[in-house]
Amino acid sequence: MKLVEWVTDIFIQILGVTIIKHKVMDIAKRFKENPLLFPSDIKPSIPGMEIKCLLNPGVFRYNKKTWLLLRVAERPVQKKESISFPVYNKKNKIEILTFKKHDPYLNTTDPRIIIYKGNSYLTTLSHLTLVCSDDGINFHEPAGYAPILGEGSQETFGIEDCRVATMKDGYHLTYTKVSPNAVGVGYMQTTDWKTFIRKGMIFPPHNKDCALFDEKINNKYYALHRPSSPELGGNYIWIAESPDRIHWGNHRLIAKTRKNMWDSARIGAGASPIKTEKGWLEIYHGATEKNRYCLGALLLELKHPEKVIARSREPIMEPTTDYETKGFFGDVIFSNGQLVDKDKITIYYGASDEVICGAEFSINKIFKTLEY
């Protein structure tokens, strides 16, 4: 034990104060260039809008470059006396809704949500935008790649947090479809990032955080997903299997939230599980009741991914830097995209729901932190 720790322990004991010490086990190597992207780096999709947040990118390699599929959250440039936000109307055109700031029926305690007379809205509307890079650090918006916008009645509040699974037959995108009726998982396919085949909602409400395994197991496709069951159960990670990636069945619960821990309120899968000799390694997010979002890991059996071999007791990454603790929604690290090169995982993540950052992990180091 270091001298400082020893003195602190004695001091605590003398005071007779009960303090539950929180062990920081963060093993992420953050990019020194962080944040890599700010909202001001991207052009708004239409004039008069401002980008409030860049967050939670899907990640893939294409044409020898690293690409991020950013979630871009926009709203109109705000006026002093009112709060306004966009939604898509029935004709799929953006419509601006406005409320007076001092309206007694307005509840704006959560910066992400507006509650008015019992109805919930989002303060921003999200779409997906592509950026690419030669070095994985400096990203730009390439010409000729249109943003992916919400479409139809299931996406009137936008589309969010897209995972990209790279498979032999192309790229497979699973993302959150948001509307006043529900939150569910949408699925689309592409091979050229210019044309997309939309396959509709594959996991019905309330469901999000869907990560496809990027290869078949026992001749079936697999996916991790996160249904929410508000009365019995909770916000847990489930696994499902499918013959075609559209029809999903044999749903099984694989991991639950844990009381009084860093993942006590909500957990959800990150990107596609990583195939290793020891099993499938999945980096997932866990949040507390106070909405503090950290990352941890799960290790799943190779042939039976519904079986959990090991799990992080402490987070492998938690909000510590200024850009992770302060911002649009502070104390958030949320990752749903990564690249893997032998022992090295490079994750890209949303920090404070506002800026895009990068960090590296060693797979072997993660293994050493897991509890079997």
- Give the residues lining the site for ligand MAN (CB under 6 A): 55-56, 112, 160-161, 293, 329, 332, 334, 350, 353
CB closer to ligand MAN, 273 vs 350: 350
For 27, the token pair is 């093993």
CB closer to ligand MAN, 160 vs 241: 160
CB closer to ligand MAN, 55 vs 345: 55
CB closer to ligand MAN, 310 vs 351: 351
CB of 167 to ligand MAN, least distance (A): 24
CB closer to ligand MAN, 284 vs 334: 334
Contacts of 90 (CB under 8 A, 6+ apart): 153
CB of 87 to ligand MAN, least distance (A): 17
CB closer to ligand MAN, 324 vs 353: 353
Distance of CA 333 to the CA centre of its chain: 8
CB closer to ligand MAN, 126 vs 312: 126
CB of 158 to ligand MAN, least distance (A): 11
CB of 357 to ligand MAN, least distance (A): 13
Instruction: Map the chain to HEC letters.
Output: CCHHHHHHHHHHHHHCCCCCCCCCCCCCEECCCCCCECHHHCCCCCCCEEEEEEEEEEEEEECCEEEEEEEEEEEECCCCCEEEEEEECCCCCEEEEEEECCCCCEECCCCCEEEECCEEEECCEEEEEEEEECCCCCCECCCCCCCECCCCHHHCCEEEEEEEEEECCEEEEEEEEECCCCEEEEEEEECCCCCCEEEEEEECCCEEEEEECCCCECCEEEEEEEEECCCCCCECEEEEEECCCCCCEEEEEEECCCCCCCCCCEEEECCCCEECCCCEEEEEEEECCCCCEEEEEEEECCCCCCCEEEEECCCCECCCCHHHHCCCCCCEEEEEEEEEECCEEEEEEEECCCEEEEEEEEHHHHHHHEEC
CB of 98 to ligand MAN, least distance (A): 23
Distance (Å, whole) CA 248 – CA 239: 10
- The span from the first CA to the last CA of the chain, in angstroms, equals 25
CB of 151 to ligand MAN, least distance (A): 19
CB of 268 to ligand MAN, least distance (A): 7
CB closer to ligand MAN, 38 vs 329: 329
CB closer to ligand MAN, 316 vs 351: 351
CB of 163 to ligand MAN, least distance (A): 12
CB of 322 to ligand MAN, least distance (A): 18
| Closest residue by beta carbon to ligand MAN | 334
Distance (Å, whole) CA 97 – CA 56: 25
